[in-house]
Structure formats: structure tokens, C-alpha cells
Homo-oligomer: A and B are copies of this chain.
């Protein structure tokens, strides 16, 4: 067997373009909107991007194509973590380039930004690209996490582009990659290289979102895949009626994934990092909040439930961040030597007790021993605690178990608490893109080709009105600088695209907050099931609950 039946069937799918791009390349013209400015720190951003700042937003519409008919050679890279639909961005880009001029050429630089630096590439042809239509993964050219941000790197990129006659680059990535795309665009413009740079908004985390980006691609498919699995787990919990499932989902800096999954599956508990931070919740408070649900359900005879925990949750807990900082300080540099030579955990524990503040020691003492040990024994090459390794789903179930013990002793709880643990991440980043992501991504790529054809640079390929059918989508471009502000990163001011956190005043969180008390004590599970590609439209074509609520 070479490919699955589904993969063969998905090759036949024709992604839907926005209505305005459906009439053929010769009937796409540009309508200019007003000049733009950055969301904040306008003077600083303007000074950093003299050649690309303040350009007009543009929208494509039906009309005579007025672009210059010249041969285009375009390069494309995939940057960062996988997201379903990346292949379709490249397919859309390829198809539009070939439809514009069969002599146009598309280079794929391999393994992410490093492919551009190392001049490692393939040239796309029909036969190769057809194997990747409507498929998941980034295996078409691979991806990587090398950051493209220094002038030295830019010079190499320009040199490699010139070697192949590449006059435009499309960078498919998250907030950092698009930030770097804007900086590269400015560099190319400032040095009169003639090389245009266009970004495409990718990330399953959903945190590349703003006034101009309704959603990043991949979020729809990944959250549907996680929700399928969570729904299956919920149904299992509700059938066996004896386990509490703690399900950690990917998403370190924002809890969009957790929130979307909660909206789709209505679990008993879903923690939201942004709320934990805003309310300055302690570990004990969070555990108590979960234990309230466990106890209320146990009182009804229901010793089962499902809790969704965002991967990055502990970093949002203020007292925990302080503890981590103290541990990093305590073991910085050569101080670690004195610790490392201590023979037993008991000796090490005494050392820790001595070194931490009273407040942090109280937090540390709360933790289960395996997590205490992990914090001290598994450190990165710089000696820092590896927060991402912390199994927060196990941490919270252990804290809840402690809390319930106290309730049992006090006579306020008499149930059974058997937790099981899951982590959902790699399970969803490379799923076959949903019809929505297949359409959206293909449109982003097609649209990127049009932006190149019309000579734009430093723009993000923008497709909006996404809660409506594809016919009504709006295709165009937005200067990336419009989304930027200045943030402090590693001790320096940097122009960056602002990361979108879950807004506690936004409609998705508010809907969740209005319903969660009921979900916590009732069994209101919803079972989304597997992503469908061929069925009725209400099953196959709807995008996320998050977007529906934001646009309602």
C-alpha cells in the first residue's frame, strides 16, 4: 500500500476560492484601502521600517488585471511547528503562478529557514505537487525553527535568491516568522534587491489573530482533531463511570486551543491560562476549583469527569513562576555543583528548603515528589528548569487528590477519585486539513501569488470574512507592520506582531464562563466525532466555535 483510500480521495478535492478570485487571473484587480499604521508605537515602528511602513491595505476584486506581465520566480518556506493545510498554501501558490504564466517557477526551500540559508531546495512540478494536495503535514519540503533575523542571514538569503533569479519569497509561519518576514522585506527594499516578501499566518495555537487575521490556519483542523479525541474520552468516561480524565492540550503561551476544545466538547473543567494569570490564582486555588466539581459530581454518584488543561498553564500561575525563577537562581552557574554532589534526595531537599523563600517553599512543598524531583534534576543546558517538561495534567490530578483527602477527612466528600492522563499535541498537527483549512490555505497561497504579481512586499496574505461561505470570503493584503508593536524581548526592544491571548472580555470566553458552572456538575458532554470531508455541509464545512462566537 502506498497511500490510504482517504488520501487518494482527497486528491480529487477542489479547494474553494473566495468568489472574487474565481473568475481567472485575468479578471483580478486591486482596490486600495487607506494607508495603515501600526497598532502601537507608531513612531518607533515607522523608523524601523522606512521603506515598508504605512502602505495601504488592499483588496482584490473582479476587474481587469492591470499587473505587469513578467516572469516570476518565487521561493517558499515553511517555518516552525506543523499545522494542517501548509501543503495547500503551496499548492494554491503554485497553481496561481502557473495560471498567471506557465513559465513562472516555484522553488521550495527545504527544512524551514535553514533551506534558504543553505540553498537547499527543490523546484516544484505538477507530478510532485499533486501528491500533496489536501494532505496534512509539512513533509512536502519540511520545516524548521531556525530564526531568520540577522543582517548576515538576510545577505545570504538575498545572495541565494539572486543565484536562482528568485524575485519573491513566501514565508509560511507564526507570529515570529511573520515578524521576521517583515524585517526581511524591509531589508530587501532598503537594499534595492527587487525581492518581495509575503507572509502567511500559520499556527495551530490560534495566537496569531488580530483585527486583520480572523484566524491562523491549522487551528480549525487541530482543534477538531483534539475535540474528536476528547469527545471519545468523554463518552468513555460517561460509559465506564469510574475515571476522571485529565487531558492536556498543546498551547503554551495562550489557551485558545483549550478554550475551543471546551466549546466543542463541554467538559466538566477547562482551565484557561489567561484567567489564572488575571485572577492570580494559586495552585491550591486551582486544585480546589477542580475538586469542587469532583465532589459535586461524586455527591450525585458520578465518580467520573473530564478536565482540559492547557499545556502552558503552570507558567500562568504567579506563585509558580516565582518558584521557577528562584530555582533557576538557586542553581545558577557553579551554585549547582554544591547541590549536585549531595548524595540523597533528603539532602537535596534540605538544600532546597534552605535556599527558597518561605512563600516559594510552601508552593514547592505542595508538589508531588516526582515533580519536585523533575524541577531539580531535569534542567536545560543553561541549568534552567524545563517548564515545558512538567506534566501539568499529573500535577493537577495529584493536587486534586490531596485536596479530596482533606475533604474526606472533614466528611464533605466520600467518592472515589481515579485519574487518567492524556496529552494531545502531535496527534493533531498533521491531520488531513478540514475542508475549511484546505480552502483557507489554498486561498492564502493563491492570494499570495496575486500580491506578488501586483508587486507588493512586506504584506501578509489576508483572507477574511471566514465565518461565511468561501464564496463571500474577502481576499487581499495587509502590511505586516500594521500588526506590530514594540515589546521587550531578551532585554531588548523589538518590533513584533502582538501575540493574541484569550480575551476574558471576548465572546468565546464569556460563552464558556456562562456555561461552565453547569458543565462542572452536570454531564453536558458533546461528542464531535471525527472530521468529515464528504458529508452534509453542516458537518463538513463549519469552522471553529471560537470564530462563530467572535463574529456573532
- Which of A8, A235, A422 has most chain B Cβ within 10 Å? A235
For A535, list chain B residues within 8 Å (CB): 6, 9, 533-535
Q: Do residues B430 and A236 form an inter-chain contact, with CB atoms below 8 A?
A: yes
For A264, list chain B residues within 8 Å (CB): 4
Give Cα distance in the complex from A166 to B433, angstroms. Answer: 50
Known A9-B536, A233-B426; contact A530-B228, beta-carbon cutoff 8 A: yes
Closest chain B residue to A434 by CB distance? B530
| A413 interface contact, C-beta 8 A | no
Closest chain B residue to A263 by CB distance? B1
Stretch at the interface among A32-40, A239-247, A352-360: A239-247
Give Cα distance in the complex from A213 to B204, angstroms. Answer: 43
Q: Do residues B431 and A530 form an inter-chain contact, with CB atoms below 8 A?
A: yes
Closest chain B residue to A373 by CB distance? B370
Give Cα distance in the complex from A528 to B420, angstroms. Answer: 27
| A268 interface contact, C-beta 8 A | no
Known A82-B239, A135-B527, A239-B137; contact A430-B232, beta-carbon cutoff 8 A: yes
Shortest CB-to-CB span from A205 to chain B, Å, is: 15
| A526 interface contact, C-beta 8 A | yes
**One of B82, B530, B536 near A530 (C-beta < 8 A):** B530
Q: Could you say how many copies of this chain the assembly holds?
A: 2
For A527, list chain B residues within 8 Å (CB): 3-4, 6-7, 135-137, 430, 432
Q: Do residues A431 and B529 form an inter-chain contact, with CB atoms below 8 A?
A: yes
* Chain A positions 222 through 241: 1 when the CB is less than 8 Å from some CB of chain B, otherwise 0: 00010011011101101111
Stretch at the interface among A138-146, A169-177, A493-501: A138-146
For A233, list chain B residues within 8 Å (CB): 426-427, 430
Q: Do residues A430 and B9 form an inter-chain contact, with CB atoms below 8 A?
A: no
Closest chain B residue to A78 by CB distance? B239
Known A136-B235, A427-B229, A430-B235; contact A143-B530, beta-carbon cutoff 8 A: no
Q: Do residues A528 and B232 form an inter-chain contact, with CB atoms below 8 A?
A: no
**One of B235, B431, B532 near A534 (C-beta < 8 A):** B532
Q: Do residues B236 and A137 form an inter-chain contact, with CB atoms below 8 A?
A: yes
Give Cα distance in the complex from A228 to B200, angstroms. Answer: 28
For A241, list chain B residues within 8 Å (CB): 111, 142
Q: Do residues A426 and B526 form an inter-chain contact, with CB atoms below 8 A?
A: no
Interface residues of A in 1-46 (CB under 8 A from B): 1-10
**One of B137, B139, B232, B542 near A427 (C-beta < 8 A):** B232
For A142, list chain B residues within 8 Å (CB): 239, 241
For A99, list chain B residues within 8 Å (CB): none
Closest chain B residue to A429 by CB distance? B236
Known A239-B142, A426-B245; contact A432-B530, beta-carbon cutoff 8 A: yes
Give Cα distance in the complex from A81 to B238, angstroms. Answer: 12
For A420, list chain B residues within 8 Å (CB): 426
For A229, list chain B residues within 8 Å (CB): 229, 427
| A75 interface contact, C-beta 8 A | no
**One of B6, B138, B431, B528 near A532 (C-beta < 8 A):** B6
Interface residues of A in 424-463 (CB under 8 A from B): 426-432
Q: Do residues A2 and B526 form an inter-chain contact, with CB atoms below 8 A?
A: yes
For A137, list chain B residues within 8 Å (CB): 235-236, 238-239, 527
For A111, list chain B residues within 8 Å (CB): 241
| A152 interface contact, C-beta 8 A | no
Shortest CB-to-CB span from A10 to chain B, Å, is: 8
Shortest CB-to-CB span from A1 to chain B, Å, is: 6
| A195 interface contact, C-beta 8 A | no
Shortest CB-to-CB span from A250 to chain B, Å, is: 11
For A82, list chain B residues within 8 Å (CB): 235-236, 239-240
| A380 interface contact, C-beta 8 A | no
- Which of A5, A241, A431 has most chain B Cβ within 10 Å? A5
Known: A10-B529, A135-B235. 11 other contacts (CB 8 A): A6-B530, A7-B527, A82-B236, A135-B527, A139-B239, A225-B232, A235-B430, A245-B426, A432-B529, A530-B530, A534-B534
Q: Chain A: residues with CB nearer than 8 A to chain B?
A: 1-10, 81-82, 111, 135-139, 142-143, 225, 228-229, 231-233, 235-236, 238-241, 243, 245, 264, 266, 344, 420, 422-423, 426-432, 526-536, 538-539, 542
The 4 closest A-B pairs by CB, nearest first: A534-B535, A530-B530, A235-B430, A137-B235
A-B contact pairs, 22 of them (CB 8 A): A1-B266, A4-B527, A5-B542, A6-B529, A6-B530, A9-B538, A135-B235, A136-B527, A137-B238, A225-B232, A225-B530, A232-B426, A232-B428, A232-B431, A233-B427, A233-B430, A235-B430, A236-B430, A239-B430, A344-B344, A530-B530, A534-B535
